[in-house]
Amino acid sequence: MEQPPDGPIQSIAEPGVKASGPLLYSMRKEVAELLGRHQTGFPGAQPVSFARQHLDELQKQDYYVCEKSDGIRYLLYSTSDEEAREAHYLVDRKNDYWFITNRNLHFPLENNTQAFHRDTLVDGELVWDSLPNGKKEPRFLVFDCLVMDGNKLMDRTLDKRLAYFKERLYTPYKKLFKEYPDELRFQPFFVEMKPFQLAYGIEMMFKQVLPSLKHGNDGLIFTCRNTAYKHGTDPHILKWKPPEENTIDFRLKLTFPLVEPDEWERKEGITEPFIDYDSVPKSELLIFLGDSGDKYELFDDLYLTEEEWEILKSLNDPLNERIIECNQDDQGRWRLLRFRDDKHEANHKSTVVSVLESINDRVSEKDLYRAAGPIRDSWKARQARSTQVRDR
């Protein structure tokens, strides 16, 4: 989707011009080198699904909690182009790089509003915020920072990474628009820091934070304060969803039946068996095993009603091989929630196992409420011990 040269982006799924060919290859290599990695795959951390065992984990270490936005995950890469001008790319989970064509996005340095950050990579989510006037506003919510001006932050603790981001990038950015508020309307999107609470602030999350959100939400994210930023699956980032919202992303495989022509069709001259595209097809759900050997494994069937199939047919879109998000109904059948065209691949088998654990070992909102007290007591005890050690 073509984005306007000035003003807000029109799509959060296609926020700019997608890099391809040699440019995409060089961008991936550039970011890998910035991070000190040999792999050029998507470098973002991925959470694990919250299971009952994690209630104990929250008592053992310091965790922060924030809301899980219903948006699209991106890394924001700030760099300079061949003409030494400020340039920004959003990197999605498919590892595609979207160049932000609106050149008004500007992150000034602390003591120089004209200068800008280079070699900077922050982690966040692009959402649509709903305004009181009915309009929607794109917003990039930052929840981590990997590199700032070439300075690698991944080995620092989460609170230090966020504090560094706030001091060096976010505060000068907010100050700029306080001084020049008219410039806000020319921005492709607005940048905010996602607010974190201490892990025991469960009541505050459910009663204050979630009800006041301007965008969709589908759970909570608990992130360990003490651990380094980890590329790929991080067992110290815990994704909690209400039990009914625990979902799996599958690759859909449709098989249409071969049928014999009936009497009427024979009269019409159709004498050979033909593929019946009208009836509900066999719908299989595949999970991802990895790129080597057999890539997929059959997991289960998708349950589709005739009404649902009629709706899908009416979309006039390709359906076979699409990535779809599914949940289980109260009879244990897998049902289609939505297409996930923002996902390049189905969930890996390890992720599926993790989600199934969450489904079978459900942790409800009430369970989190009950755990808040012990989590707080453990946090305070650790705090007291570290104070005693410091005072010796």
Report pLDDT digits (tens) over 281-334.
999 999 999 888 889 999 999 999 999 999 998 988 889 999 999 998 888 899
Look over the chain and give the mean of its residue pLDDT values, rounded to a whole number: 92
Options 18, 29, 60, 68, the catalytic residue:
68
68 part of the active site:
yes
* pLDDT tens-place string over residues 221-230: 999 999 999 9
* pLDDT tens-place string over residues 256-283: 888 787 888 788 888 788 788 888 899 9
- Residue 118 pLDDT > 90, yes or no? yes
* pLDDT tens-place string over residues 344-370: 899 999 999 988 887 888 888 999 999
- Residue 103 pLDDT > 70, yes or no? yes
* pLDDT tens-place string over residues 36-89: 999 999 999 999 989 889 999 999 999 999 999 999 999 999 999 999 999 999
Q: Which residue has the tokens 């994210």?
A: 221
- Residue 339 pLDDT > 80, yes or no? yes
Tell me whether strands 97-99 and 323-328 are parallel, antiparallel or unpaired: unpaired
Domains of the chain plus CATH, in order, are: 45-245 (3.30.470.30), 247-361 (2.40.50.140)
